[in-house]
Structure 1
Amino acid sequence: MDKRGNDKNAERSNVIHYVAKKTTLLNRISGSCDVNISKLRAGMLVEAVEVLRDGGLRIRVTDPAGADVWKNTEWLCHRYDLVPVSSIMWQYLAAVASPQERVKLATDKQLCKELNDIKLNSKVLLQNDPAPSSGELISAVIKYIGPVPELGFGLYFGLEILGNRHSIQNVELTQKYFTTPAQGIGIFVDLSNIRPCKTDLLDFGELERGNIDIIDNVTSVCNVPVNNESQNVGHADKFGELHIGSYVEIQLGSSRNYGFIRWIGALPGIPPEKLIAGVELEDEHPQGTDGACNNVRYFHCKPHRAVFVDINQCHSHNRIDDGEPKKMEFDKFGSTGNSVVAGMVRPISVKGDLETICGKYRGIQGHHNSCYLDATLFSMFTFTNVFDSLLFRPPNEKDCAQYEEVQRVLREEIVNPLRKNLFVRADRVMKLRTLLEKLSSISGLTSEEKDPEEFLTSLVAQILNAEPFLKLSSGQDAYHYQLFVEKDDHLNLPTVQQLLEQSFLTSDIRLKEVPSCLIIQMPRFGKSFKMYQKIQPSQLLDVTDIIEDSPRQCTVCGKLAEFECKECYGQCGVGLESIAFCVKCLEKVHSHEKRKSHKAKKLTVPIEFAILQEHCPVPRLYMELSAVVCIETSHYVSFVKCGSGSDAPWCFFDSMADRKGEQNGYNIPEMVPCPDFPYWLSEDGAHYLAELTDDRQLPEHAKRLLCDAYMCMYQSPDVMMYR
């Protein structure tokens, strides 16, 4: 044991608390037990006592079950396998029996923030039945917070139940820790059974008198399943034809509002005879939420669209949009909020915390094998305008008759709503897919599994007839570049930079100009065969040496190069830079016995630069990574840069991350922040990966990024300014 273990009191003040978010393997650092490697399971409690130089953590594992392997031992763990929590949250979570529930609670940052503020006499909502389908929430007040040895490890909450609830029995043990009124009910619960209540119970008398249109609410919530039937069947005669999915008109103040009923039932604290409707509005309302009321989530929708009103305020309306009843759209895709957005909408600009725009129902909703298209469109348009010329080019005589319709659907029904509302419903995408199926030479675009390059060929090349993104020295044009390389068995973790230069060298071609965008397809064939197990995308791609007639540096002295020798590749440096020489350095290098037979090729140097070469250094040309489209088991997802510059955050997007319902259900898209993305593309990340022997130890997102990369998208901010 080292000296640090001698002063436990001083050490504890520096402890950082975590919950394991995934199962991973740990290496023992100190202490004695029967094994040197042990499995840390998701949901286990961790204390980090030291941050090591390589970024790893020296940790202790707290196991309520008391396994010997964790007693008085310390282990090496990577922080990417853990979720940080506060000291008090860690103690609350210790009392939660289910490891999966611990992970769920620990990863809900907003909830953790609110629970940190809980104190004695705080009002909370109690979920009495642990079954998620019950959704019964009961008001209570906290009378005790602390350990209850009779119940187990961690901190528990002693609650006094507000009101007369026959479904809850008094727990005699509570009398040992706190007191309740003579007829009061007291119980103990752990963190998983309660949710904070930011506001006191409302004055529902005003609601009964009709003075309040919308029930007050807050958006920090727990979840209640959306019911397809009314929770109060006995009230059916009172609200006639109204039901879940009904399109209604509501008078809110002086304005008329329209929307769909998403939930019907009774709310905690309101007389049970008062039936409430949760309505998703077509337009935003200043008092609207995202489907939550009083800390409880009843359904999901975009912010400021949900209101909870007396059902008597709802009046059935038979409005129809685009020739189809809106109820059918709701039933099929789960959300009605996806209007056509005309004009020009700029890409999303992220300011502050990326988590404010992430979550479920974000991005493009997947439907019927659409992931190839969803991931590609999300990568091309959400946070960058490099492809915006596709949206606005005027038609010409070479375009097909439906050119403007395809362009309009892409712009006004997909890209603009995505940028404005951060959500595109699947039927809007299906409209584009139907047009592509009809107008292009590629069949099966509305139902079959396809690849991103097939979609690009159909939309960009054949229908939108766009100018090719790449102009090659061979005289050919292209919309993307497929890497063709021979496998180097000595290369364990190739970068996109290395593979790109190797491919251009082998093919003996160059780009005629710096493109505004460069889409690179990885060296893999089909959905299963991969030439390399892992590939590290390069954050900055140096394209200086693959541009025809562009000034290049001599690999030896750094001055203007006038010759290149392919046979010298890798002998005087790395990559394509190693084959460029000035006159003096070429003579010196080729004077070596091994290189006397090499034949150099004269480079074309721009006359304007040849004149200025003594006064300015040779510029290097870079493109920045903007997105990585990945595939695993025929499903495409994407990692997308949410802005420009090296410090821009990244997110992960999956158009089919979750699903609601079975055969007649719908997919739920999701955006997830990826704060660790830059690490896995850095030199430190490369060193870690070089020593990794089992890819299964990688965090989920890192594994998908490095092992499943299918296509990398690069852009040139400088070129974008002039096109």
Structure 2
Amino acid sequence: MASQWSYSDHGTAMSGAGSSSTGNTKSELPSYYNATDQTKNIPMGSSADRSRITTNDSNHGTSTTATKQSETGVKFNPSEMLEKVVRLGNSLYRVKAYIPCGNKQLFALESEKPLRGYDGVCPVCAKQHILLAESRGFYVAVDSVFQALEQKKLEEERLQGRKSIDRLDSVKENLPPLKSPILGQNKGIEGDSNSCYMDATIFCMFAYSNVFDSLLNVKTEKKSLTQLQKLLRENIVHVLRSNIGFVEQNIVHVLRSNIGFVERDALYHLRTQLSEATGDSSFKDVEKDPTEFLRALEGLFNFAPLKTIAPDQPPNATASNITTNIMWEMFDPNPHNMLSTNIATIFLNSLSEIPAKLATIPPFLILVAPRHTRSQRSYRYIIPDRQIALDNKIVQLVCLKCQLTNHNSDRANDFYSCESCFARESPSLITPETDAKIVCYCSTCLSELHRDLGKELINHNARRIPVEQHKLNLFAVLCIEVAHYVAFVKCQKQQEQHEWLFFDSMSDRIHNEKNIPLVDRVPDFEKWIETAGKDNYFFPDLDELRKQARPSSQKFTENDMRRLRLFRDGAFFFYENSSVNYQ
């Protein structure tokens, strides 16, 4: 389960255990244990009665040696299971006893680290069948343990067939983004175990856009980062953008050539190298979320082009009052409990909440949907604006001479650029050591600079700073439902022509061991957004759609499901600056 973003069908997030940590940090209660079960069949009595060890309990299972059978038909000898280590969620547990309680078959486990919110009593009868380490013991269904062991076995079998990096498809040529859609099954990126958060993020960033391409070539002195960067560039991004034929044998043994297909082993090696580079072993095999992946790239490659500053505060000489990020995690408490709103409104509200403004006009903007609490999104539905227009409320301008800002609405449009003046004045100006400000002058300072120039003034091309002319265009939406990530991505074909695509790295499976990625057209994407902003019944209708109790034979139509995913599950919204050339 994803550690931070994990939305249920009701729009709330279920917090998972997160990445592994050391020390005595307490972990969240595993998702497969239902804490509400503690209140079932609890006899009246004191807390001491509940925590007392029942030495004469006939259900005590530590001495049982007969062969048992789980609900799913797995036969096992309880004594052979003792002290086995099993991974459930993101943590390791040791089997301490087999406990048949009522009509339930349970294992008593001890966690490798303390658990939150559980006192070690049986969830069925509220008794303590066996003495377990304090804050580390709990009970889990026998079948859950065997399912985890089976999953581990399958993964080990898959690992034996992994390709080494030198056997992966590789494209050294620097290729531009795709200009036509790659469609169908076995297109895009083949999902690996627990990798969908990374598959979908990479597809959003690189398949049809080049706004992140500088990340692929940024200079680094560390060998481990150079290898990581090369793997991402040559074995994943360039292969995704290439026309090489990847020959894959499918379930009916028909050989077919795949264009724009990245095999799962490339993702496996990327995650392995990312684990080594960050020192976080959970990247290798644990389901994480895009925030953690993006933050890792930000930290490893010092890639944080989004710069913000407090309103009406000029950058100091070292730019230490500038905050840099790779993305903007928005804040909006939604005090009026609105059902829906649009991204541009949330972004502006978020800047006002802090408060902050953009110190520069960013090349791109990744906006992360706000949460009301850790486990609940602020808005049930979010409309992704196709375009966000920047203005003086969002971007901060600062005069190089007098440090006046555009925070005062009366002077907001009174800022100009003059390259000739800046070239002449820059040695005497106190400017930040980074590109954390827009070079401009207020009208008063510019007039003083131009006052004594005489005929030389003809060589000075002063222009008003047109903040409002900068537009940020939506090019991808990353969505999560429960613990599965999918993406909507824009394919920019020619000039104004484009179309929207849907990507799922794990749309289907073969023999429970091979994921089938899918890229499909979404012809109604922009129509959905337009309708959502105008039709007062759009979201109530979606609510009704969600409430309908449907048998498995009457599933949502594909169109309805994707519409729900876009507005209900949208978590990361990718925008690019239309006025920037990224080549």
Instruction: Compute the TM-score of the two structures, normalised by the length of structure 1.
Output: 0.43
Partner of 1:462: 299
Residues 90-130 of structure 1 deviation map (CA, whole Å, 9 limit, x = unaligned): xxxxxxxxxxxxxxxxxxxxxxxxxxxxxxxxxxxxxxxxx
User: How do 1:449-528 and structure 2 match up within 5 A?
Assistant: 449-458=287-296, 460-463=297-300, 465-473=301-309, 474-489=321-336, 491-524=338-371
Residues 249-276 of structure 1 deviation map (CA, whole Å, 9 limit, x = unaligned): xxxxxxxxxxxxxxxxxxxxxxxxxxxx
Query: How far 1:605 moved relative to its partner?
Result: 7.1
Cα pair distance change 1:470/1:328, threshold 3 Å:
closer
- Conserved? CA contact 2:331–2:371, under 8 Å: no
- Conserved? CA contact 1:527–1:633, under 8 Å: no
- Conserved? CA contact 1:516–1:720, under 8 Å: no
Match of 1:372 among 175, 179, 197: 197
Query: How far 1:341 moved relative to its partner?
Result: 1.1
Query: How far 1:338 moved relative to its partner?
Result: 5.8
2:437 corresponds to 1:606? no
Q: Counterpart amino acid of 1:388? A: D
CA distance in 1, matches of 2:184, 2:355: 46
Query: How far 1:498 moved relative to its partner?
Result: 0.1
Partner of 2:541: 692
Cα pair distance change 1:414/1:534, threshold 3 Å:
same
CA distance in 2, matches of 1:563, 1:344: 41
User: How do 1:112-131 and structure 2 match up within 5 A?
Assistant: none
- Conserved? CA contact 2:193–2:285, under 8 Å: yes
2:263 corresponds to 1:425? yes
2:210 corresponds to 1:385? yes
Cα pair distance change 1:528/1:716, threshold 3 Å:
same
Query: How far 1:583 moved relative to its partner?
Result: 9.6
Cα pair distance change 1:659/1:388, threshold 3 Å:
same
Q: Counterpart amino acid of 2:189? A: I
CA distance in 1, matches of 2:186, 2:464: 55
Which moved further from structure 2: 435-444 or 693-702?
A: 693-702
SS in 2 for 1:649: strand
Residues 113-170 of structure 1 deviation map (CA, whole Å, 9 limit, x = unaligned): xxxxxxxxxxxxxxxxxxxxxxxxxxxxxxxxxxxxxxxxxxxxxxxxxxxxxxxxxx
Match of 2:172 among 324, 328, 342: 342
- Could you tell me which runs of 5 or more consecutive residues in structure 2 were left unpaired when the two chains were aligned: 1-156, 243-258, 310-320, 414-438, 448-460, 547-558
CA distance in 2, matches of 1:636, 1:488: 29
User: How do 1:244-255 and structure 2 match up within 5 A?
Assistant: none
Cα pair distance change 1:564/1:377, threshold 3 Å:
same
CA distance in 2, matches of 1:451, 1:701: 20
Q: Counterpart amino acid of 1:654? A: D
- Conserved? CA contact 1:363–1:669, under 8 Å: yes
Match of 1:359 among 177, 180, 184: 184
CA distance in 2, matches of 1:330, 1:340: 21
Query: How far 1:456 moved relative to its partner?
Result: 1.3
2:521 corresponds to 1:673? yes
Partner of 1:661: 511
- Conserved? CA contact 1:442–1:454, under 8 Å: no
- Conserved? CA contact 2:200–2:478, under 8 Å: yes
Q: Counterpart amino acid of 1:344? A: N
CA distance in 1, matches of 2:183, 2:412: 55
Partner of 2:92: none
CA distance in 2, matches of 1:694, 1:410: 40
2:480 corresponds to 1:631? yes
CA distance in 2, matches of 1:654, 1:583: 45
Query: How far 1:493 moved relative to its partner?
Result: 2.0
2:543 corresponds to 1:709? no
- Conserved? CA contact 2:332–2:378, under 8 Å: no
Cα pair distance change 1:622/1:389, threshold 3 Å:
same
Partner of 1:439: 277
- Conserved? CA contact 1:371–1:636, under 8 Å: yes
SS in 1 for 2:488: strand
Aligned length: 341
- Conserved? CA contact 1:541–1:624, under 8 Å: yes
Cα pair distance change 1:526/1:690, threshold 3 Å:
closer
Query: How far 1:678 moved relative to its partner?
Result: 0.4
Query: How far 1:657 moved relative to its partner?
Result: 0.4
SS in 2 for 1:494: strand
Query: How far 1:692 moved relative to its partner?
Result: 2.8
- Conserved? CA contact 1:372–1:636, under 8 Å: yes
CA distance in 1, matches of 2:289, 2:184: 26
SS in 1 for 2:579: helix
- Between the two structures, name the one with larger relative contact order (CA 8 Å, sep ≥ 6): 2
Query: How far 1:368 moved relative to its partner?
Result: 1.1
Partner of 1:57: none
- Conserved? CA contact 1:346–1:419, under 8 Å: yes
Cα pair distance change 1:480/1:658, threshold 3 Å:
same
- Conserved? CA contact 2:191–2:199, under 8 Å: yes
Match of 1:546 among 390, 394, 397: 394
CA distance in 1, matches of 2:205, 2:542: 34
Partner of 2:225: 403
Partner of 1:415: 237
CA distance in 2, matches of 1:712, 1:583: 28
Residues 655-701 of structure 1 deviation map (CA, whole Å, 9 limit, x = unaligned): 10000112xx2101101111111012225654252553625268111
Query: How far 1:449 moved relative to its partner?
Result: 1.2
Query: How far 1:390 moved relative to its partner?
Result: 1.2
Query: How far 1:401 moved relative to its partner?
Result: 2.4
SS in 2 for 1:718: coil
CA distance in 1, matches of 2:464, 2:377: 47
Residues 597-622 of structure 1 deviation map (CA, whole Å, 9 limit, x = unaligned): xxxxxxx9733797799999774321
Partner of 1:270: none
- Conserved? CA contact 1:514–1:719, under 8 Å: no
- Conserved? CA contact 2:343–2:384, under 8 Å: yes
SS in 2 for 1:681: helix
User: How do 1:30-49 and structure 2 match up within 5 A?
Assistant: none
Q: Counterpart amino acid of 1:623? A: L
Cα pair distance change 1:526/1:411, threshold 3 Å:
farther
Q: Counterpart amino acid of 1:718? A: S
Query: How far 1:533 moved relative to its partner?
Result: 0.5
Cα pair distance change 1:402/1:487, threshold 3 Å:
same
Query: How far 1:442 moved relative to its partner?
Result: 2.9
Cα pair distance change 1:547/1:695, threshold 3 Å:
farther
Query: How far 1:342 moved relative to its partner?
Result: 1.1
CA distance in 2, matches of 1:468, 1:583: 27
CA distance in 1, matches of 2:335, 2:275: 40
Partner of 2:580: 719
Query: How far 1:457 moved relative to its partner?
Result: 1.9
- Conserved? CA contact 2:169–2:235, under 8 Å: yes
SS in 2 for 1:513: coil
CA distance in 1, matches of 2:500, 2:412: 45
Partner of 1:204: none
Query: How far 1:542 moved relative to its partner?
Result: 1.6
Cα pair distance change 1:472/1:428, threshold 3 Å:
same
